[in-house]
Amino acid sequence: MDSEIDYKKYLEAVEQQSRVFFVLISHVLVKGPKKAYSQLFLARLKVEAGHLEDFLDYYGCLHNKQWFPVRESVAVIKSFSGSCFKCTRLIEQLPKKRIFKDEIEFKESIVDAYSVLKKALYNSCKNSITQFKKVGVVQKVCPIDCSFQNDYPDLGFIEKNRKKRSIKSAEHAAVSLATSFLNIAEDFGQLKKIVKTKKSDYLGMIPDVFDEAKLMQFENKFHSLQSLFDTYLSESQKLNADKTLPSLKNYISVIYHLLDIGTKCSHYIERHAAYFKPSLLTSVVQPVSDLDLVTLIIDTFIANALVFTQKAQRLCKETLINYEKRGKIKVNIPNYRGFHVRPSTLIAKIVIHYGTEIKMIMDDKTYNAAIPLELFRANEVINAQKRFMITRVVNNMKLIKEKNSVELDSVKLREAISAVYIQLMENNDITLYNKSFSFEDLPPIHGEKIAAYAKRAITHHLATGTLDIKSDQEVCFEGDVRVLEDIKILAENGYGEDKFGNNIVLPKELSYLRR
């Protein structure tokens, strides 16, 4: 059981712990919502707000009706100061990055977002002062050096004189980075539907369509990519020789920062905004309207992150081509009807996903594996070989040898062909998809022998999809080994379907194909 608090000592402790915090928020109120804040100042404010929030949580403010608004006001300041810091970082860094030189609209959108978030921070500071007064906290300030209110002084930069390391795994890391990015980008692309939504529907998007948790997942994934780059590539000699990797790293960094801000803003809407509804407000103000903030999240942070993700995808594909390792694999053809729509489409999606050239080779003919219609054409070769193989099987059947020399009437021929089909099915030489069919729509030709009739019937039913012929035919794929590995996994999993053409679940390595 919690012990009763010594309230007088508790107030003194709060006053002591909040002294620097009050200096900082007082500075915000003096400057007003239109002035810019330095990165150093915003970073310090975020740290102090976080420290004070933890202190208040330790003593149970989260569950006390008088102190909960105090704790909320501090938490909101932490959130908005962090968002403002990220905006200032983007605004300061963008002009230094060559790939963002012509991104004028993007720069303007970040400046506009910063203006909205600065006002939200200003209003939050006003609210915090009010809430602390309500609980009787004397707002003491301490004399601290306020030089951090200014930005980093322009002193130039320390000489870059560390030698780049020759990292053996750098090439592998570059490929891993590009491949991982492409996989994450496929998932992230699902958010395109959000930016196409009418603005009148924006408020209904959180949490039904996206929320803090979803954005945080993507934020963490892109952050992991940035860490991978910093660990294995940033100090590698490979970086000096590769013009693509630095640009890719810049895109990853900006996408991560955009999603970080979007996540913080979503957190405010889901966690804090309910306590600042106009109907509930008395002595405090709403930091920012929910609609304005959701609009920022969608139109600025998510939309721009999606744009840069698409641009980075092209760099990833260039990287994979630059570090391409070529190889060959042989896999079985699809069980069900060869390279029809589903297998051909899935193979093409794998190839397009990586952006490298993959060839499919069969019977000395070459097909572009990135084009489903090209793969469809292989069925001509596959079916010709199937017909040749099944004809040989049929001709060697005892039943055929016994009756082929005898002229049978139409009734006897149909009985014989039915017996042939049954035997072929029992031996797993054919798979029948429509077991209720008959031979009535395929009457024998006058004078036709059982072997010829069987060949014509099987050819007809193969063409109409009534049956398929079991085949151990193999096809060769040639190209980048990373792409070939995914094609091999697809083939080992029936090209996404069972022997009757029903859709099956693909392994997690190919989850991007189902998006």
In tens, the pLDDT along 432-488 reads 887 777 788 888 888 889 999 999 999 888 888 888 888 889 999 999 998 999 999
Does the N-terminal peptide bond of residue 33 adopt cis geometry, omega within 30 degrees of 0? no
Cα 303 from chain centroid (whole Å): 14
The predicted model gives 193-211 an average pLDDT of 89
**Residue 160 domain-assigned?**
no
Above 70 in pLDDT, residue 325? Answer: yes
**DSSP 8-state assignment for residue 199:** G
User: If you average pLDDT over every residue of the chain, what do you get?
Assistant: 88
Domain holding 463, by residue range, is 326-513
**Residue 498 domain-assigned?**
yes
pLDDT grade for 80, boundaries at 50, 70 and 90? very high
Above 50 in pLDDT, residue 230? Answer: yes
Q: Are 415 and 392 in the same domain?
A: yes
Beta carbons of 313 and 305 less than 8 angstroms apart: no
Residue at a domain's end among 146, 179, 206: 146
Burial class (CB within 10 angstroms; exposed 0-12, middle 13-18, buried 19+) of 198: exposed
Q: Are 286 and 383 in the same domain?
A: no
The predicted model gives 187-211 an average pLDDT of 90
pLDDT grade for 36, boundaries at 50, 70 and 90? confident
Residue at a domain's end among 300, 323, 346: 323
Q: Tokens representing 218?
A: 């993507």
The predicted model gives 363-377 an average pLDDT of 93
Q: How far apart, in whole angstroms, are the C-alpha atoms of residue 149 and residue 160?
A: 28
pLDDT grade for 110, boundaries at 50, 70 and 90? very high
Residue at a domain's end among 298, 323, 348: 323
Q: pLDDT > 90: what percent of the chain?
A: 55
Q: Which residues contact 232 (CB under 8 A, 6 or more apart)?
A: 167, 169, 170, 173
**Residue 362 domain-assigned?**
yes
Query: CA torsion angle for 214, 217, 221, 223 (degrees, to 10)?
Result: 100
Above 80 in pLDDT, residue 240? Answer: no
pLDDT grade for 239, boundaries at 50, 70 and 90? low
Decide which of 3 and 220 is more confident. 220
Q: Are 137 and 201 in the same domain?
A: no
**Residue 397, phi then psi, degrees to nearest 5:** -70, 140
**Residue 157 domain-assigned?**
no
Q: Are 260 and 380 in the same domain?
A: no
Q: Are 45 and 97 in the same domain?
A: yes
pLDDT score of 412: 87
Q: Are 135 and 99 in the same domain?
A: yes
**Residue 152 domain-assigned?**
no
Angle, alpha carbons 477-480-486 (nearest 5°) = 70
Pairing of strands 474-480, 358-362: antiparallel
Pairing of strands 467-469, 430-432: antiparallel
Q: Among candidates 114, 140, 113, which has minimal Cα distance to 36?
A: 114
Q: Are 123 and 21 in the same domain?
A: yes
DSSP β-bridge partners for residue 328: 478
pLDDT in tens, 490-513: 999 999 998 888 889 999 889 888
Cβ–Cβ contacts within 10 Å for residue 170, how many?
Answer: 21
pTM higher than 0.85 for the full model?
no
Q: Are 383 and 506 in the same domain?
A: yes
Q: Are 364 and 471 in the same domain?
A: yes
**Residue 161 domain-assigned?**
no
In this structure, what CATH number is given to the domain that contains residue 101? 1.20.120
Q: How far apart, in whole angstroms, are the C-alpha atoms of residue 128 and residue 492?
A: 61
Decide which of 235 and 266 is more confident. 266
Beta carbons of 504 and 510 less than 8 angstroms apart: no
3-state class (DSSP) for residue 419? helix
pLDDT score of 28: 92
Domain count, the chain: 3
Q: Which residues contact 416 (CB under 8 A, 6 or more apart)?
A: 399, 403, 408, 450, 453
Q: Are 243 and 317 in the same domain?
A: yes
Strands (E), 41-162: none
pLDDT grade for 234, boundaries at 50, 70 and 90? confident
Q: Are 339 and 260 in the same domain?
A: no
Beta carbons of 67 and 135 less than 8 angstroms apart: yes
Q: Are 132 and 173 in the same domain?
A: no
Above 90 in pLDDT, residue 408? Answer: no
Above 80 in pLDDT, residue 332? Answer: yes
Q: How far apart, in whole angstroms, are the C-alpha atoms of residue 123 and residue 121?
A: 6
pLDDT in tens, 134-172: 999 987 666 655 555 566 667 677 766 555 554 456 788
Q: Among candidates 249, 225, 277, which has minimal Cα distance to 93?
A: 249
pLDDT score of 1: 44
Burial class (CB within 10 angstroms; exposed 0-12, middle 13-18, buried 19+) of 44: buried
Decide which of 1 and 319 is more confident. 319
Q: Measured between alpha carbons, how far is residue 496 from residues 215, 407, 513 in Å?
A: 30, 46, 10
**Residue 158 domain-assigned?**
no
**Residue 338 domain-assigned?**
yes
pLDDT score of 437: 74
Lowest mean pLDDT among 11-25, 203-217, 256-270, 432-446: 432-446
Q: pLDDT > 70: what percent of the chain?
A: 92
